[in-house]
Amino acid sequence: MSIKNTGKSFGSLARFFHWLIVLLIIGSFGTMITVDELPEQSSWVGVLYNYHKSIGVTILALVVFRLLWRLMNVVPKPAAGLPKWQIAAAHAAHYFLYFAMFALPISGLIFNKYPIEFYYLFQIQPLETPFLPDVKKLIKEFHETFAWIVLGVIGAHVGAALWHHFVRKDNTLRRMISG
């Protein structure tokens, strides 16, 4: 099991980044879905918001390393016999997801008003942004709406991986699970 990618599969570090970020995205959405179900006065609301923000900062840091690792490695070739439109769609989805992994944490940091207790280990002060309150509100709306769009693209990504595995029976999913 190689740490580096090959022309046929992802290396162990690329797979580690992928699955760790998957878990963090699940945690990020999970915290906000839970917050929506709690009464505003619940003491858990602040805790969950804080974990949501900590997860976002973690994703941002990891995606920087993930992107650098991707740029320094070969990217496995698509499965043989795929139509060009499917290859183009896969590339578009991957570019979109990388954009999202930057855009969501950065937009969250821009409209954040309070210090982030980073997993209650240390504080990250809110950014001093020169934006007018209306612009911050617009960024907050982008963050919240874009997150649901991202969830839809993630659903399509998962669906495509399962289609490759169960219908096409190729190694597309397997190479992200076991190399």
Q: Which of 54, 64, 57 is nearest to 121 (CA)?
A: 54
One DSSP character per residue, 29-80 reads HHHHHHHHHS-TT-HHHHHHHHHHHHHHHHHHHHHHHHHHHHHHSPPPPPPT
In this structure, is residue 120 part of a structural domain? yes
Q: Is the pLDDT of residue 39 over 90?
A: yes
Q: What is the pLDDT of residues 94-139, one digit of tens each?
A: 999 999 999 999 999 999 989 999 999 999 999 887 777 888 899 9
In this structure, is residue 69 part of a structural domain? yes
Q: Please report which confidence band the pLDDT of residue 87 belongs to, taking 50, 70 and 90 as the band edges.
A: very high
CA contacts within 13 A on the Cβ side of 84: 0
In this structure, is residue 5 part of a structural domain? no
In this structure, is residue 124 part of a structural domain? yes
In this structure, is residue 112 part of a structural domain? yes
In this structure, is residue 2 part of a structural domain? no
Span between the terminal Cα atoms of the chain, in Å = 7
Token pair, residue 58, equals: 């973690």
116 touches 124 (CB < 8 A): yes
Q: Please report which confidence band the pLDDT of residue 40 belongs to, taking 50, 70 and 90 as the band edges.
A: confident
173 touches 113 (CB < 8 A): no
Q: What is the largest CA-CA distance in the chain?
A: 56
Q: What is the CATH number of the domain that holds 35?
A: 1.20.950.20
The structural domain count of the chain equals 1
Sign of the C-alpha dihedral computed for residues 55, 57, 61 and 64 taken in this order: positive
Q: Which domain holds residue 78?
A: 12-177
In this structure, is residue 1 part of a structural domain? no
In this structure, is residue 4 part of a structural domain? no
